[in-house]
Amino acid sequence: MSDERLQTNLLGIAMKTPVLTASGTFGFGEEFKDFVDLSRLGGVMVKGTTLLPRRGNDGARITETPEGMLNCIGLENPGVEHFLEETLPRIQQYGMNVIVNISGSTAEKYGKLAELLDVPGVAAIELNVSCPNVKEGGIVFGTDPEAAAAVVCEAKAHTKKPVILKLSPNVTDIVAMARAVEAAGADAVSLINTLLGMEIDINRFRPVLGNITGGLSGPCVKPVAVRMVWQVAQAVRIPIIGMGGIASAEDAVEFFLAGASAVAVGTANFTDPEITMKICDGLDTYLAEHGFSSIEEIVGKANPGFLGFRNDVQKG
């Protein structure tokens, strides 16, 4: 099947399709090489990366929920040095756009990570701000507009790569967060990250997860994600990467119609490792059946308040 209708350019990154994979659900991409044409993906948002290696949380880290899952992996990863020296050179052979998701406990650490990753082979940086700011008493970066904006400013000051801010849904006003990071210079936003949730073992009388709470993802969060993409698309002009519960081409179409310029698939990769390819095929069929020649033609088409970002429209 030809992907001509699906070709797009996001943040100066040429993409064969607007279908990406969400960080934490696809490893470093190579784990799926037997199931997926990695070069066909718009990009692979690789496993969250920190300055130093992390072993992650103790105890149970994943549990299934109705139409979804809870996880509290705890950012287990080998650290940025290992990623740059070992992983990045190895995964470059697959011809995929590598987008590195980074986390830190201070704005300065985000800046340091962005600087270290400003190298060939990295297409963009995604900032995961669903972590506590140790300098501000543990406030979560992603729930405070000023803190999130400070992270964006620090990252932008240390890299020439496009900077994507991953918005947390665990806020009162997602629009305020999006506007703050756009004003700080974010090149795009991705949303949504996981919803905070928990499950209790009624026979052992204690939480199931070792960390007590975890991030809820999967089909159950899709209506929340679509609603938030819809709202943010009415508030900012930078492109949106929509994610949250996408498990079919029809799900992806909803995000495009709401105002997303690209989508990322997460939890569905666990249940069907070929799902991204099926979504690409389904999107192409949808466009053909409805008489559209490109994916851009349906971006924001259902959203009357959509601000009108297109690939040929510059920020501002």
Per-residue pLDDT of the chain (316 residues; tens, 9 = 90+): 678 999 999 999 999 999 999 999 999 999 999 999 999 999 999 999 999 999 999 999 999 999 999 999 999 999 999 999 999 999 999 999 999 999 999 999 999 999 999 999 999 999 999 876 566 656 689 999 999 999 999 999 999 999 999 999 999 999 999 999 999 999 999 999 999 999 999 999 999 999 999 999 999 999 999 999 999 999 999 999 999 999 999 999 999 999 999 999 999 999 999 999 999 999 999 999 999 999 999 999 999 999 876 544 333 3
Name the residues annotated as catalytic: 131
Q: Does the global pTM surpass 0.85?
A: yes
Asked if residue 82 lies in contact with residue 136, where contact means CB atoms within 8 angstroms, the answer is no
Q: How far apart are CA 73 and CA 280, in angstroms?
A: 29
Three-state secondary structure of 119-163? CCCCCEEEEECCCEEHHHCCEEHHHCHHHHHHHHHHHHCCCCCCE
